[in-house]
Amino acid sequence: MALFTPLALPNGAVIPNRLAKAAMEENMADADHAPSDALLRLYDAWANGMAGLILTGNVMIDHRAMTGPNGVVLEDDTHLDRFQRWAGIARARGAHVWMQINHPGRQMPAALGQTTLAPSAVALDLGALSRQFAVPGEMTGRDIADVQQRFTRSARLAERSGFTGVQIHAAHGYLLSQFLSPLTNKRRDQWGGSIENRARLLLDIVRSVRSAVSPQFAVSVKLNSADFQRGGFSAEDAKRVVEMLNPLNVDLIELSGGSYEAPAMQGQARDGRTLAREAYFLEFARDIAAVARMPLMVTGGIRRRAVAEQVIDGGIAMAGIATALSIDPDLPRNWHAGKNNAPALRSISWKNKTLGSLANMAVVKFQLKRLSEGRVTDPRVSPLRALLLQQLSTSCQTRRYRRWTVQRASTR
């Protein structure tokens, strides 16, 4: 079966099969913003599930720039032993395990009390929820250089921890995606304007990371196939970025799409386009594959074996699975045994699409929490209940994070 054939990467590493556990934001750090015991139990479940590649939820490169209040941060070697335990548990059954490294840019909750930076001072447009995110300040050249150094440092620390690669997150409306999009990058200097300038920071980070880690350590990129917003990062832009990445020894590109404003990764576009019910970005990936010289991976809505096989049979190297693996961590093993499990969550058809998107993420995190506790998942959980529980948890975690940052500042 094609799904369970090995994949040789450009650097010579071999992934045992074509199924990847794609990144999901866990928000399961311990009190030091290092991997918690709950996070380790969660990855033990996925390690047993037989995915060939396991991608972590985003690990932040700067404790002042968080996607959520309880995220894992890797910016120095203070708690490296806990990251080593994380890598060891996730790799225990033979999977490759890559750390996704990220900076949120303007997609950082204002309640965290940190200064928000982005390519340009463009606020998020989330209707009534927009006020939950601060208008960002435009980054200086020094800010940009600092971000590049932080991505490189975190990648080096990931290798020291025992991870087999990193994924540089340049999708879903986070900082590097903001640089790529003309909607959020209004700069008139060397980082703005043409797609070559808008991609400059991403390319510089890839070069810097590649030179800082060993050849056998995988360097990958998560890239939007499009923003799915009118005037945003387009499919043609994505093809051009892939062409520019071709000579930089990138081992794999994962194609996804969307942002907080247009959560296409959940099947919602904002530019009038209709996405497929499953494998949302496969059509875009096939187009990009025509210019890519590295393997491609497609993530977004895959939950059936037949759809995953369609992805691989269509010339895409790997099928990334996220939500389905939050429900059934043994899904790849079950498929390998000939079963046809197709786990799915309850459909959310709320009129407020932004709240619906938040509820969808809350339902996924509800499953992750149960897995981390060794409990059976509950895909039929009420989205409203999951959202309310998530909001309560986030409020408590936010207070803890703010106390932690004050304490950290006083001891440095």
- Tell me the per-residue pLDDT of 126-165, one tens digit each, with 9 for 90 and over: 888 889 999 999 999 999 999 999 999 999 999 999 999 9
- Picking from 93, 240, 108, the residue whose alpha carbon sits closest to that of residue 174 is 108
The 10s digit of each residue's pLDDT in 29-44 is 999 999 999 999 999 9
Report the DSSP pairing between strands 252-256 and 59-60.
Answer: unpaired
- Picking from 335, 168, 313, the residue whose alpha carbon sits closest to that of residue 254 is 168
The 10s digit of each residue's pLDDT in 290-314 is 999 999 999 888 899 998 998 999 8
Instruction: Evaluate whether 100 touches 56 at the Cβ level (below 8 Å).
Output: yes
The 10s digit of each residue's pLDDT in 50-84 is 999 999 999 999 999 999 999 999 999 999 999 99
Q: What is the pLDDT of residue 280?
A: 58
Query: What are the two backbone dihedrals, phi and then psi, of residue 262, each rounded to the nearest 5 degrees?
Result: -135, 85
Is the predicted pLDDT of residue 270 greater than 80, yes or no? no
CA dist 178 and 106 (Å) reads 8
CA angle 171, 186, 256 (to 5 degrees): 15
Is the predicted pLDDT of residue 1 greater than 60, yes or no? no
In one-letter notation, the amino acid at residue 170 is A
Q: What is the pLDDT of residue 324?
A: 96
Mean pLDDT computed over 172-194 = 96
Mean pLDDT computed over 12-16 = 98
The 10s digit of each residue's pLDDT in 79-107 is 999 999 999 999 999 999 999 999 999 99
Q: Is the dihedral of CA 72, 395, 24, 353 positive or negative?
A: negative
Q: What is the pLDDT of residue 412?
A: 67
Is the predicted pLDDT of residue 256 greater than 70, yes or no? yes
Q: What is the pLDDT of residue 237?
A: 93
Mean pLDDT computed over 332-357 = 90
Is the predicted pLDDT of residue 275 greater than 50, yes or no? no
CA dist 404 and 71 (Å) reads 13
Query: How many Cβ atoms are within 10 Å of 292's Cβ, its own excluded?
Result: 20
Mean pLDDT computed over 323-327 = 96
Task: List the domains of the chain with CATH numbers.
Answer: 2-348 (3.20.20.70)
Counting residues of the chain whose pLDDT is more than 70, the rounded percentage is: 95
Residue in the structure block whose two tokens are 């139990």:
41
At 271, is the pLDDT very low, low, confident or very high (cuts 50, 70, 90)? very low
Mean pLDDT computed over 269-280 = 45
Mean pLDDT computed over 374-397 = 96
Instruction: Evaluate whether 61 touches 144 at the Cβ level (below 8 Å).
Output: no
At 279, is the pLDDT very low, low, confident or very high (cuts 50, 70, 90)? low
DSSP per-residue letters across 87-146: HHHHHTTS-EEEEEEE--TT-SBGGG----EESS------GGGGGGBPPPEEPPHHHHHH
Mean pLDDT (the chain, rounded): 92
